[in-house]
Amino acid sequence: MSEKITITIDGKTIETMAGHKILWAAMDSGIYIPHLCSARDNHSPSASCRLCFVEIEGYARPVTSCTEGAAEGMVISTRSQRVDRLVRTGFEMIISNHRIECRSCPRNRSCSLQQIAKERGLKLKPARLEKLNRNLPVDDSAQKVAHDPNKCVLCGLCVRACKEKGAGILGFSHRGFDRVITTFLGAPLGESGCDGCAACASACPVGSMTAKQ
């Protein structure tokens, strides 16, 4: 698995390791591919954000680059009509229930959604979809972190960070539109054994989990 190979992304020749995920091979060589849910050290990515699509020559349809390992001689393009359409729809669906208050958001200018919108020329307002505001209460009970579920994109990075570096108290609950990041029985963070490591806040790509000053 660790032999050196050469692949081509958007006409640029890149040396990488066989099996290395295309998303990270591209990111490492300065080619940006939108992504929210994947982490570099995650070997079984959930591919749930549906934003990191790429076209690979010889493949029938676009694939998620966070799950596709590189192979010798692959010719990849990060943009095509089909890719752009998938990414645009995926992004609009995520943004349609994301509370937009960039100006007062602590992650303004360091937000992955803003970056994706900028890179791909997408709008932070869903043009074709109705805006769905869940109006969930902001959990301000913990000492070190605050959780605003209205800004959550359900990428699961905080759940993973909490299990690996923190107390392991975060998880998903409920289903569909009601899905949220929560603690056991939905207890407030401050009463759930949160040790204040703020690993969730550094993992959060948007302004949902934020470290308190």
Alpha helices in 16-124 (DSSP H): 22-28, 81-96, 112-120
The residue from 79, 120, 144, 163 that contacts another protein (CB under 8 A) is 163
Buried b (16+ CB within 10 A) or exposed e, 115-147: ebbeebebeeebeeeeeeeeeeeebeebebbbb
Among 72, 119, 184, 202, binds another protein (CB under 8 A): 184
154 binds another protein (CB under 8 A): no
Among 1, 60, 127, 185, binds another protein (CB under 8 A): 185
Minimal distance, residue 68 CB to another protein, in Å: 26
Burial class (CB in 10 A: 0-12, 13-18, 19+), 109: exposed
- Between 8 and 48, CB nearer to another protein: 48
Regarding 183 and contact with another protein (CB under 8 A), the answer is yes
Part in contact with another protein (CB under 8 A); list of ranges 40-48, 91-99, 124-132, 180-188: 180-188
Measured from the CB of residue 74, what is the shortest distance to another protein in angstroms?
34
CB neighbour burial string for 72-104, b if at least 16 within 10 angstroms, e if fewer: eebebebeeeebbebbbebbbebbebbbeeeee
According to CB under 8 A, which one of 6, 80, 108, 173 is a site residue for another protein? 173
| Single residue of 40, 71, 172, 191 touching another protein by CB under 8 A | 172
User: Judged by CB, which is closer to another protein: 32, or 172?
Assistant: 172
- CA–CA separation, 1 vs 177, rounded Å? 40
First to last CA, the chain: 44
170 binds another protein (CB under 8 A): yes
Residue closer to another protein, measured from CB, 137 or 168:
168
Q: Which residues bind another protein (CB under 8 A)?
A: 163, 168-175, 182-186
